[in-house]
Every structure is written in C-alpha cells, then in structure tokens.
Amino acid sequence: MQAAVEVTNFTKRYGDFTAVSGISFQVQPGEIFGLLGPNGAGKTSTLECLEGLRSADQGSLSILGVDPGRETRKLRNLIGVQLQASGLPAAMTVDEAMRFFCAYHQVAPRYDLLERMGLGEKRQAQFGQLSTGQQRRLALALAIAHQPPVIFLDEPTAGLDVASRVELHSLIQDLKSTGATIILATHDMAEAEKMTDRVAILLRGKIVADGTPRELTATGSGYTKVSVRTENALLQTNGHSFAGVSQRQVLDDYVVYYSTETGKTVSELMDYINQQGDKLVDLRVERPSLEERFLEITHTGDVK
C-alpha cells in the first residue's frame, strides 16, 4: 500500500544552519501522526516543505505520490493545512473566506462546517473581529472544506477553551473515520497521546524517537510510578523500601515509589501494610506519560 506521506533522507538548510538533517518517516493512509519537538527542532521546516511552502535541500518528499516541491497544483487539492498563525485579511468575513477558498479549490462552499465549528452566528463577522479560538476554528473549517485526503494541523487547539478542544478532538476523530490522514504538530503531549496513532519526536533536526505513544512511554527509564496512601500514613514516616524501587518521594498524603519491577513492588507493599496493621486508602500504578518521556528525551538528547 502506498504511504500517504513519505519522507526520505530529508534535509533543510537556511544558509549555514541545518534545520532538518536527513530524517525519514512514513505515514500510512488513515493514520493520525504526531510530529513533536521543542521550538527550533525542525517541525515547522518539515511541515512547510511537505506543504509546498519551501523546497527540500536534500532527500525526497511525497504526498500520495506527489512531490510537494514540484507538483504544487496537484498538491493543493490533496492537502488541507491549518497554519499555526492563521492569516486571513482582517476585513474578510467568515462567509467570504469560505466562498473565497472553496472557489479556488473548485468546490461548493461548506457552510455546514461553519455551523459545526460554532461559527454559524459569526458568518457575517470579519476575521479581525473573531476571537483567537474562533479564528483557529475557521482556519480548520477552511482547511478541510475541500475534503483533502491529507490534513496538516499545526497546534490546532492552541488558544481554544476546553469545550472547543473537546469538539475539535471529536472532529479530528471524525476526519480519521472518513479515511483522512492527519499530521498533527503539537506541543500538547496529552493531546498527542490521546489523538495520535504514532508520533515522531524531533530534536535538533533529527528524529530521536518514533513509534506509538504506548511504545514510546514503555521505553526510556522504564520506571513505573506506584503511589500509595494509607489510613495511618505509616509509609510516610518510616522510609521502608521495597523490591525494584529506586526512588521514593512524599507528595502530600501519598508516598510515590519509582519501580522497575511493578508486580513485586506492589505485592511487597500490600504485605507490609497488612503486617503493620495499617489500612490501604488509595493505590495508583501509573506508566510514565508521553509528556514525561518527551521531557526525558529532549533533556537528555537521548537518540534512539
């Protein structure tokens, strides 16, 4: 099966500065792929070259078999892009924007999307009069109005309130269910963990980790957090340690153990609490989140 997005040995330079250095990845049709990384990691350069805004210095890029640097006309109807800074003329109304871009894509205006994005009552409002959240929702509606098979979303939920974020996540899932391939660049690790099928973490122009969020969180330091709260707060005072525990921390009413052998740790812990005559109130076993793994990778520069 042809990959929806294929990046092979891609390099992008600005003068002497190499923004992206020989990265390769593939995104399969229907996947939600997260592109993560701190500022300056090369995400935007990668996205801009895939979107046809800039050309690659080395390597090859392909969107459904189309070279974004050379076949820009074909590319326009294959991709939908929600830019991070959604630039539209301040005097353009929401309705005009929908008509304007749909006309260039040669499709009928999708006013239904404006309703879905909660912009039904703002159709005559000018872009400059919309809130940041409304501007981002409009940008998304415009990006998907021509039903492109590949969609690029750059920080889609930045500046949105909780309800709008939930609605937008639901819309992204709907798009996925129609078979669309989505490339999601985000700083929000919870969003990436919840929404994406696979992620790649970029650091200093290189991919330092990739895989499913579950795979990424399973690697790394390998610690699992075991948080315990007991009735008599026995564990908080006596400092007893258990099998597989390398670090112990007291946080409010909880004692947190970082364990590499979760099963043994929990088993010994329960036995100890019972032996000491204390009573368990709460026990939480948590794998490291994608955010923790991301911080671990970006701080240590841990290359896969």
Partner 1 sequence: MTAFTNHFAFEFKTGLRSATSMLMNYLFPLGYYAMMGLVMTQVNPSFKETMIPGIILVSIMAAALLGMPGPLVEAREAGIYRSYKINGVPAAAILLIPMLTTVFHALIASGVIALTANPLFDGLNPENWLALALVTGLAALNFGCLGALIGVVSNGSRSVVLWSQLIFLPSMLLGGLMMPLSVLPESVLNVSFLLPTTYAMQAFSGLAYNQATLIDPWLAAGILVVGAVLAIALALYLFKWDNQHSSGRKLIALALLAWLPYLAGVVLR
Q: Closest approach of Cβ 199 to partner 1, in Å?
A: 24
Mark residues 110-149: x for contact with partner 1 by CB under 8 A, - for none.
----------------x------------x--x-------
CA 180 to CA 49: how far, in whole Å? 20
- How far apart, in Å, are the Cα atoms of 213 and each of 104, 175, 258? 37, 20, 20
**What contacts 101, CB < 8 A, 6 or more positions away?**
142, 145, 146
Number of residues that bind partner 1 (CB under 8 A): 28
CB of 118 to partner 1, least distance (A): 21
Site stretch for partner 1 (CB under 8 A), options 26-34, 80-88, 200-208, 277-285: 80-88
Among 32, 63, 88, 203, binds partner 1 (CB under 8 A): 88
DSSP structure class, residue 50: H
Q: What is the 3-state secondary structure (H, E, C) of 239-262?
A: CCCCCCEEEEEEECCEEEEEECCH
* Nearest residue to 6 (alpha-carbon basis) of 21, 19, 24: 24
107 is a contact residue toward partner 1 (CB under 8 A): no
Closest to partner 1 by CB, 104 or 253: 104
Options 79, 175, 226, 235; binder of partner 1; rule CB under 8 A: 79
- Hey, which bits of 88-166 come out as E strands? 150-154
What is the nearest approach in angstroms of partner 1 to the Cβ of residue 245?
51
Per the CB < 8 A criterion, the answer to whether 198 and 25 are in contact is: no
Rounded (5°) CA angle 76-82-88: 90
Site for partner 1 in 47-66 (CB under 8 A): 51-53
Q: Closest CB to partner 1 among 154 and 191? A: 154
- Determine the Cα angle at 15 with ends 14 and 16, to 5°: 105
Nearest residue (CB) to partner 1, 15 versus 239: 15
Query: Do residues 293 and 302 touch, judged by C-beta distance below 8 A?
Result: no
Residue with tokens 């269910």: 177
The interface region with partner 1, picked from 77-85, 174-182, 204-212, 266-274 by CB under 8 A, is 77-85
Rule CB under 8 A: which residues touch partner 1? 14, 51-53, 73, 76-77, 79, 81, 83, 85-89, 91-92, 96, 99-101, 103-106, 126, 139, 142
